[in-house]
Amino acid sequence: MARKQHIAIAAIVIWAFCAGALSAGSARLTFDHFYDGPAVTEALNTLHEAYPSLTDLRSIGKSEEGRDIWLLTINNPATGAESDKPGICVDGAIHGNEIQATEVCLYLASYVLDAYDSIPAITKLVDSRVFYIIPVINVDNRWRFFANPSGYDYGRSAVVPYDDDRDGLYDEDGVEDLDGDGEILEMRIRDPFGDFKSDPDDPRVMIRVKPGEKGEWRLLDAEGIDNDGDGRLNEDGPGYLDMNRNFGFKWQPPYVQGGAGEFPMSAKVIKAVSDFFLTKPNICIDFSFHNSGGLIVRGPGSKAIASYPPQDVAVYDFLGKDGEKIIPGYKYVVSSKDMYTVYGDLSEYVYSGLGIFGFVGELFTSSQERYRKPDEKPGSAETEEGFRYYGGTPPKEKQKFNDAVTQGIMFREWKSFSHPHIGPVEIGGWRTFTTRIPQPFQLPEMVHRNASLVLFAARHAPDVSLEVLEVKDLGGDMRRIRVRAANRNAIPTLSSRATGKNLVRKDILKIEGNGIEVVSGGIVSDAVMDRIEPIEHRPWMVFTSVPSFGKTDVQWIVKGKGKVTITYDALRARDQTLTIDL
């Protein structure tokens, strides 16, 4: 079948699963489908055109194949410049086949903008925070996932040539759509010594044979041929560079961390994203959305990284545990402890490298495909095992969900095919927009709840207030001034990681006025016992931060009379100023 026919069929299949159109005549986006590559750009432009006073849309760089990496900034300039407000960053689809992460980003943008005039809580957030939204990091492979024949397990990496099979050739043996149906499915052959047999209750399901038991099927691989004649199928496809293993903090080479790339930030996209974070020192938290597990994840990503400071862990715990309530069924976990070891990932880069709190949201949950009552347990151990056991739903039960809830569209029945190298095979299995990807009707609640977690964290961005605690006359034209900078929210003005490693400059609490001499200054460590940590040089300027749900008290001894201005200058919180007359 000609290539144009392949593309046409793929387009029809994709449209059937996820029509990519915007709702006609409205700035509102709909979320009962997935947005393909062009539709993402169209959606972002639609939002920007509908809300030009609240948004800025620009590209932060180009991908390996020259596509734009779009950044949508949401800020109300009437209430201040974006750099003067705490920043909340949200990104998605750093892995190209984890497509629903983009929908969370788009939904957050759409919801916040559409609700700005109608929901007071949203108005307050947009007026006092800035949102940076990068819906697609891996723009090349997410685009390819929709536009080319693909499968649920393909399109994860960056399109950077790599010799996976070490034969001196690059990307010469990838998958092919052999039967021309627009999708990459699985191949199997009959083999009495194979590892699988058909489930007697549902022949679509393959179950592993027990030791000594006669087999029926040998699972080969995804659709494809042996292009390089080495006796293997699909072992050297496009890439492989895993963008979430390519960041600069604790990067490890490919022999330690698969997909790490030749050197840190060797992918053009990752360099662009890294540079973006460096230009936005006001960002206090980042949510990076992925696709499977129903998890709210924090670092450390590996045991090579020391435990996080307890003050920062308390912030993570506060947000993560509330996240479990905002998104029922999700679990708040630690990556290296509860999942697996990872090096060079985005959330570790922003936290350990820049002092920004970072979460990963793993979106898909097995409960979305259960076919049983909430209090029922899965079936027998045999039916639970199965092949490609993702997310806790046994294949047999998933087939019942497929039949009863999606009318059978998730699975392609096994069909005979004459393979050019192997001979008779069967092609079939779970289709492209299925495994680890929710069905379109399941999207609305998923995107809203995850966006709500982001908004919950945004409400807890640092919010500093200044208060004069005391102006005490000491005689001889001398006065003692005590000032409190308080933070009513969970996220501190700077993380303990940031202050402990001097990753960014500290906040500045300063006093100034004409005719005023600052004799001494310092942080009040114990007001009751009058304990002060003195500032040795430039006592009018105290470098500090305000902790989670906490305060920082400062004392100055000043000489003179007149108007005095006290300012709190913060990187990741709004600046505050007050004036007193002496």
CA–CA separation, 381 and 384 (whole Å): 5
The reply to whether 19-146+240-367+440-459 and 464-581 are identical in fold is: no
pLDDT at 14: 40
What is the torsional sign of CA 518, 519, 524, 528? negative
Question: What pTM was estimated for this model as a whole?
Answer: 0.92
Q: What is the pLDDT of residue 32?
A: 93
Tokens of 552: 């920082």
**Kind plus residue range of the DSSP H or E element containing 131:** strand 130-134
Strands 551-559 and 423-430: unpaired
CATH topology of domain 19-146+240-367+440-459: Aminopeptidase (3.40.630)
The whole-number mean pLDDT for each consecutive block of 10 residues of the chain, a chain of 582 residues, reads 39 40 54 96 97 97 97 98 97 96 98 96 98 98 94 88 84 91 96 95 94 95 92 86 95 94 95 98 98 94 92 98 97 94 96 98 91 78 42 84 96 96 96 93 96 98 97 94 97 98 97 94 90 93 97 96 96 96 90
pLDDT of residue 27: 57
- Tell me how far apart the alpha carbons of residues 200 and 198 are, in angstroms, rounded to a whole number: 6
The CATH number fitting domain 464-581, selected from 2.60.40.10, 3.40.50.10470, 3.20.20.80, 3.30.70.100: 2.60.40.10
- 536 exposure class (CB count in 10 Å sphere: 0-12, 13-18, 19+): exposed
Sheet containing 541-544: which strands, arranged edge to edge? 541-544, 507-512, 563-569, 576-581
Give the span between the Cα atoms of 149 and 183, in whole angstroms.
Answer: 5
Q: What is the pLDDT of residue 17?
A: 41
Asked whether the beta carbons of 434 and 395 are under 8 A apart, the reply is no
SS3 per residue for 445-505? HHHHHHHHHHHHHHHCCCCEEEEEEEEEEEECCEEEEEEEEEECCCCCCCCHHHHHCCCCC
- Tell me, what's the pLDDT at 380? 53
Q: What is the pLDDT of residue 489?
A: 98
For residue 386, the model assigns a pLDDT of: 41
Whether the CB-CB separation of 449 and 363 falls below 8 Å is answered with: no
pLDDT of residue 379: 65
Enumerate the domain spans of the chain. 19-146+240-367+440-459, 176-239+369-430, 464-581
